[in-house]
Amino acid sequence: MIKISNREIIDVLKYSDDKVILVEKKPNVDASGYGVNYFILNFSTGEKEIITKDAYLLKKYGANRKIIAQKLGNFVTPSAIVMADRSVLVIYPTGETGLFNSDGELVKDGVLDYNGSTLSGIALDGEYFWSVCQKENCVIRYFIDGVKVDIRVGMAEQNTFPNPHFVSSDKENVYVCCNHNRIRKIDKATLTVSDVEKTYSDMTGYYRFGDYAIITTYDSAYCDKI
């Protein structure tokens, strides 16, 4: 495992089969808040390359990136899905959601919740996406179209997903970060739940890209070959 950043990483996006975009938080010189750095990590070479904000926005929000980013203000922290018709679904860590149409206009907003508890995160799964509900100890799969509940895995009274706080996905699995640095995974085909063998200290996020994993903590990030 190698360290790839000495700062907090606030977004991670797939760029290509062997590259990933990371957004790194950096304090302003005058201590009046913070800015960000955008860079690409090449898994094949291990090299890092600075990219522009516009390249990041294009990958995250698609063709109407500038309109959507301007309306959001904070365009880094939410998760986003760009759909085939160029509409974009956005979910903030607070559960606040927004649906932008193919022209970049906000057509629907609200809060994603389950039993009155907010959800956060987006893990893509074909025509679905998964989000975690920390208070209810569960992970919920939604239809992207209409943002309607499909299935729930786990519940408050069970320990399947203890205090889940992060969700991501690759082609085969959904990954859920839980208490005690535990990573659980859901097989997309069978919905079987199991553990990722490796554990990482102070983990805030876990992303899988083929044979590599990106692990984020409160003040750094690492790349690990699986």
The answer to whether 56 and 92 are in contact (CB under 8 A) is: no
Distance between CA atoms of residues 99 and 105, nearest Å: 8
Q: What does the pLDDT look like over 193-208, one tens digit per residue?
A: 999 999 899 999 999 9
Q: pLDDT value at position 29?
A: 75
Q: What is the pTM of this model?
A: 0.94
Q: pLDDT value at position 185?
A: 97
Q: pLDDT value at position 31?
A: 65
Q: pLDDT value at position 148?
A: 92
Distance between CA atoms of residues 28 and 46, nearest Å: 28
Query: Could you tell me what percentage of the chain is helix, strand and coil, using 3-state DSSP and rounding each to the nearest 5?
Result: 10, 50, 40
Parts of the chain with a pLDDT under 70: 31
Q: pLDDT value at position 33?
A: 77
